[in-house]
Amino acid sequence: MSVADTETSVSTRDRILDAAETLFIEHGFAGTSVRAIATEAGVNLAATNYHFGSKKGLFSAVFQRRVQPINEERLQRLSRLQKEVQVGKRKLTIRLVLECFFEPLRHVDPGIPALVGRMHGEPASLTRPILEEAFLEVAGAFHGALRQVLPELSHEELRWRFHFMIGSMIHLLQMHAPLGSESTHDTFTSGVPRLINFVQAGMAHTDNGKVYD
Amino acid sequence: MSVADTETSVSTRDRILDAAETLFIEHGFAGTSVRAIATEAGVNLAATNYHFGSKKGLFSAVFQRRVQPINEERLQRLSRLQKEVQVGKRKLTIRLVLECFFEPLRHVDPGIPALVGRMHGEPASLTRPILEEAFLEVAGAFHGALRQVLPELSHEELRWRFHFMIGSMIHLLQMHAPLGSESTHDTFTSGVPRLINFVQAGMAHTDNGKVYD
DNA sequence: TGACGTACCAAACGAACGTTTGAACTTTCA
DNA sequence: TGAAAGTTCAAACGTTCGTTTGGTACGTCA
């Protein structure tokens, strides 16, 4: 492939991905037709099946493209934190772990949160395989880190709190899914610190009102 | 209408509502066909449009049937609590307000949580009018009660925490949406108290680690 | 009794769906 | 240059969609 070739080829693929992302966010998977995607992208109807095999394949590709950089940064931050802890440079706290998990959400394309939020609203039969593949490693790593910093919690209790944490996050992500304005990103940026505070309190609470740091 | 008429009539209507509820939960709105609903209900295809006007009308009816009793109980509990506070019988606390809001979820049909959870995953263009109508009164009442018990929070901060509260709840509701087993109800029942603890801590936290009761 | 309204049914409507086809066009590389 | 591979196209495939139609069955009530 020449440079020119690569450019046109990638351009078509990416135009499809961009259009599909927009429409999937707005109308969901079943509510979006391949025809609408092709029209929005300005490409031929058959191009989507040529590049992605099927509508499901396209849906999966749209999601993977966005979520992989986020998860990579999450793991990067966590492993950097754990190294600093090993060296004795830092003390491992709930807040630091949560920041590794949530902060990457602030520095990404404004459309991404909406997509991740929409993803969690789709029927599980469609999304479960995609989500499991995408989040298995990240969920395991952060679950482990939180267990390390909250050793007095039973596994079951930690699983529940982890669950609520994900729920709070997803609801923040879904919050502005239907709106496409610039305020989306601003509101979201200011929401992340509040989310961290909220989740930290929920994670650390004990029955007598004491909280961990 | 005679009694017999009413019975057959209601039976058909309810069979459609039951079947639609099951399928909407599992596959979403756009992913469920009216034909599948009619087949599942064992009624004629045209019966759904006869009774509910359109597919959207049916979707709205399915939701309203389930959510109204819950919201009525929420308001009942809250107003009873507020009366007891006025008389001096009780002191208003975050936990008591949260219990008014969450406890009604425990004593209802196991299918309801899944439906409410699925509802929040649908495209906003479909669900927003339905949700706004259903929750305007309840949201206003509980937002006011929480403002009363957390007077030092700014309106904006309270709005955020209220938002995260709803998110935690919805994620609990969505948790078992795809599963139809009995364990759904058990797990959900044990999840509500944990949800209350989690949200109480998130609602009450201050920057110095202190929490309100 | 007989006109009337409600409930239900089989059948069909046109439209939109995801996907496939086969030819045309472009780029690759020996 | 010429065969092979990659990409895009108009057109059509068969299927399924939400909704409508016209007719039948049956209870109500003047």
* pLDDT tens digits along A74-83: 999 999 999 9
- Per the structure, the residue whose CA is closest to nucleotide D21 at C1' is B46
What DSSP character marks residue A120? Answer: T
Taking an 8 Å cut-off on Cβ atoms, the answer to whether B168 and A164 are in contact is yes
Confidence check: pLDDT of A103 > 70: yes
**What's the half-sphere exposure (Cβ side, CA atoms, 13 Å) at B47?**
23
Alpha-carbon gap, residue B118 to B180, rounded angstroms:
14
Q: Which nucleotide is nearest to B10 (CA to C1')?
A: C7
The structure tokens listed for B135 are 């929750």
Name the band, by pLDDT with cuts 50, 70 and 90, for residue A180: very low
Give the one of B123, B169, B202 whose C-beta lies nearest to A201's C-beta. Answer: B202
Sign of CA dihedral A80, A85, A91, A97: positive
Confidence check: pLDDT of A144 > 90: yes
- Higher pLDDT: A150 or A171? It is A150
Kindly state the average pLDDT of the residues A42-59. Answer: 96
Taking an 8 Å cut-off on Cβ atoms, the answer to whether A172 and B161 are in contact is no
Taking an 8 Å cut-off on Cβ atoms, the answer to whether A172 and B163 are in contact is yes
Residues 6+ apart with CB under 8 A from B113: B105, B172, B173, B176, B177, B184, B188
What DSSP character marks residue A169? Answer: H
The structure tokens listed for A112 are 């991404």
- Per the structure, the residue whose CA is closest to nucleotide C28 at C1' is A1
Alpha-carbon gap, residue A129 to A106, rounded angstroms:
26
Nearest to A145 by CA among A194, A97, A187: A97
- pLDDT tens digit at each of 213 positions of chain B: 333 333 444 689 999 999 999 999 989 999 999 999 999 999 999 999 999 999 999 999 999 999 999 999 999 999 999 999 999 999 999 999 999 999 998 877 777 877 887 888 788 888 888 888 888 899 999 999 999 999 999 998 999 999 899 888 888 887 743 333 344 555 667 788 999 999 999 999 886 454 545
- pLDDT for res A181: 34
Q: How close is the nearest chain A Cα to the Cα of B150, in Å?
A: 15
Tokens 């304005």 — which residue? Answer: A181
- pLDDT for res B152: 93
Taking an 8 Å cut-off on Cβ atoms, the answer to whether A202 and B199 are in contact is yes
- pLDDT for res A124: 82
List of long-range contacts for B78-81, beta carbons under 8 Å, 24+ apart: B78/B141, B78/B142, B78/B145
